[in-house]
Structure 1
Amino acid sequence: NPRPHTPKSGKRKGGFGRRVFLPKPTHPVTQRVFWLLRVVTSLFIGAVILAVNFSSEWFVGQVSTNTSYKAFSSKWISADVGLQVGLGGVNITLTGIPVQQLNETINYNEEFTWRLGENYAEGYAKALEKGLPDPVLYLAEKFTPNSPCGLHGQYRLAGHYTSATLWVAFLCWLLANVMLSMPVLVYGGHMLLATGVFQLLGLLFFSTATSLTPPCPLRLGTATLHTHHGPAFWITLTTGLLCVLLGLAMAVAHRMHPQRLKAFFTQSSGEDPAPEWNPEEGGLLSPRYRSTAESPEPQDIPLSEASSEACCKKEHPREPDCTL
């Protein structure tokens, strides 16, 4: 007798017009790569927001010059003078070329801050009492509130507003990570977009406030110090544009192919995607499926004559003749 047909393992037979669930295999290496890419990108964005908020390289400048060393002295030195303007203050460096000159070690790194609760004028007064070199005091004096250059008010205001918007961007980044891990993808994409928008808004505040001040010449001995936007400004711009692009991409993907976006994030997190019905495409989108029309049809298996007679005797014991 032919063997009865049994469906293959891993398939589930449904009724007419129904679809059969077939798990979509995903390579574990691919899952790890997707997960690693998400984690590295997210950590990079958060680390940049924190780092630039405390960085002093938003506006920088450096020059090599021959300048006077200290007040009431006719001796000159050859040195590198650097200026770094951050969101919370000014950092001034003075390094001799060579470092040992005039029987002294010329290597200074002084910070003057205007954060909340700190007085820039008091810090400058303490520097005068310590007798710091002339190049350091000259640059620090340009950022005092009473300086005719007017740099203190503009840079202090720009630093406060930029720092506030960056903290809001950091909060949006935290919310984006929480929502993407739940996963609430559409709101996570919106929070990621808001993270980039607040970073770009902080750059706009900083650039606008600093551009309102006319350029103030910074002459140090035989050279002039020129300033420009530093690494903190450009890396914030890059990160902000990256967040905006990722947020827009997620919003567009959720608008056009929400199930594929969900399958992508579910795959990258290493979870098995649940089958969902997509009315637009008429069936399961992820994982794969197979209709019963494509599955092998059950075959009619004829029974032998002896087995049919035995079956009839069991069902009808009183009837002598039993025919099919």
Structure 2
Amino acid sequence: MAAFGHTFPFYAGPKPTFPMDTTLAIIITIFLTALLTFIIILPGIRGKTRLFWLFRVVTSLFIGAVILAVNFSSEWSVGQVSTNTSYKAFSSQWISADVGLHVGLGGVNITLTGTPVQQLNETINYNEEFTWRLGENYAEAYARALEKGLPDPVLYLAEKFTLTSPCGLHGQYRLAGHYTSALLWVAFLCWLLANVMLSMPVLVYGCHMLLATGIFQLSGLIFFSMATPLTPPCPLRMGTAMLHFHRGPAFWITLSTGLLCVLLGLAMVVAHRMKPHRLKAFFNQSVGENPGLEWNPEEGGLLSPRYRSTAESPEPQDIPLSEASSQACCKEQPRMSDPDP
């Protein structure tokens, strides 16, 4: 390397760049495909039901897509700074670059982009991910980064999230990521149950599941906020500047979606108590279906049989029999024998 004028360590090979997370791209594609399919069949629905149906589908798909997307997003805590910093170890050469830090539930993503991109006869454009999900070892990923010889700013930030770092960020964000992700998965299951129950004549339970979806999302946000500090316990110095990070878009969109689920769930529960017929009409359920079963609000909306009393039951109608049927009935009746004198 010295013969070619390179300074140790030398990052061999092309720099990996990832413009978008493939997992997020798959999730967005699936939900957009489902939405497009529903829009195609929308003209076949007549009247006001079309608007009600469109509102339900768009709202439900939005909530489900958000819950899945934020679970795999790396935008829970973000920070970015423009600075002049060293580029390689054991080198006095400095570069002007934008350094980005993106912390998610499953790991940390570090970006380094030169301003301009071409400096020191190299293309400075890095996007490196270090994960701590279950089954993955953060220390091994950091060791591989050292072997590859990543730039100093990337290794410096990645070292702050190692288990042996005195900064203590690894334990905080790893614990918060595991528990917040678990709560979001529970919220996703509640969302699935809500969709199933709202398509059946048990609307009140669907309302409760939608309410539970929002509660689990908000619970995950509360735990993440309590477990992770807004101000890191150690300074993150990037050359001539200081890197500060804050709550990212994934945090705020989860907050808004959780509040939306809670408000919709409460509104539907109140509507079920006060005007259940209009709620059934909104979900395209005929009020006149199943006349033998009546909606019992006292039992939580469960369809329970209500037997009619004798006074409420209709009077039996006498069905006239034909002459042949009457003679046959008379012949079948046994004659009573006269009593012995």
TM range (shorter): 0.7 to 0.9
Q: Name the residue aligned to 1:74.
A: 92
Specify which of 281, 288, 291 is matched with residue 274 of structure 1. Answer: 288
| 1:217-274 deviations in Å (ceiling 9; x for gaps) | 11100111110000000000000000000001111111122222212222xxxx6542
1:219 counterpart = 2:233: no
Q: Name the residue aligned to 1:98.
A: 116
1:47 counterpart = 2:65: yes
Q: Equivalent residue of 1:211, what SS?
A: coil
Deviation at 1:183, TM superposition (A): 3.0
Deviation at 1:184, TM superposition (A): 1.3
Following the alignment from structure 2 to structure 1, what is the Cα–Cα distance between the partners of residues 174 and 282?
45
Aligned-pair identity in percent equals: 84
Deviation at 1:136, TM superposition (A): 0.1
Following the alignment from structure 2 to structure 1, what is the Cα–Cα distance between the partners of residues 68 and 286?
35
Following the alignment from structure 2 to structure 1, what is the Cα–Cα distance between the partners of residues 54 and 280?
17
Following the alignment from structure 1 to structure 2, what is the Cα–Cα distance between the partners of residues 231 and 215?
23
Deviation at 1:182, TM superposition (A): 1.1
Q: Name the residue aligned to 1:60.
A: 78
Q: Name the residue aligned to 2:204.
A: 186
Q: Which runs of 5+ in 1 are unaligned?
A: 1-26, 280-324
- The size of the alignment, in residue pairs, is 250
Q: Name the residue aligned to 2:299.
A: none
The two structures have a TM-score, normalised by structure 1, of 0.74
Task: Return structure 1 stretches of 4+ with deviation > 2 angstroms.
Answer: 211-216, 275-279
1:132 counterpart = 2:150: yes
- Structure 1 or 2, whichever has the larger Rg, is 1
Q: Equivalent residue of 1:35, what SS?
A: helix
Q: Name the residue aligned to 1:115.
A: 133
AA of the residue aligned to 1:158: A
AA of the residue aligned to 1:155: Y
RMSD (Å) for aligned C-alpha atoms: 2.0
The two structures have a TM-score, normalised by structure 2, of 0.70
Following the alignment from structure 2 to structure 1, what is the Cα–Cα distance between the partners of residues 282 and 54?
14
Specify which of 31, 35, 57 is matched with residue 49 of structure 2. Answer: 31
Are the equivalent residues in 2 in contact too, given 1:199–1:240 (CA < 8 A)? yes
Specify which of 255, 273, 285 is matched with residue 273 of structure 2. Answer: 255
1:224 to 1:214, Cα distance in 2 relative to 1, 3 A: closer
1:242 counterpart = 2:276: no
1:278 to 1:218, Cα distance in 2 relative to 1, 3 A: closer
Specify which of 142, 157, 174 is matched with residue 175 of structure 2. Answer: 157
| 1:131-174 deviations in Å (ceiling 9; x for gaps) | 00000000000000011110000000000000000000000000
Following the alignment from structure 2 to structure 1, what is the Cα–Cα distance between the partners of residues 101 and 62?
27
AA of the residue aligned to 2:265: G
Q: Name the residue aligned to 1:10.
A: none
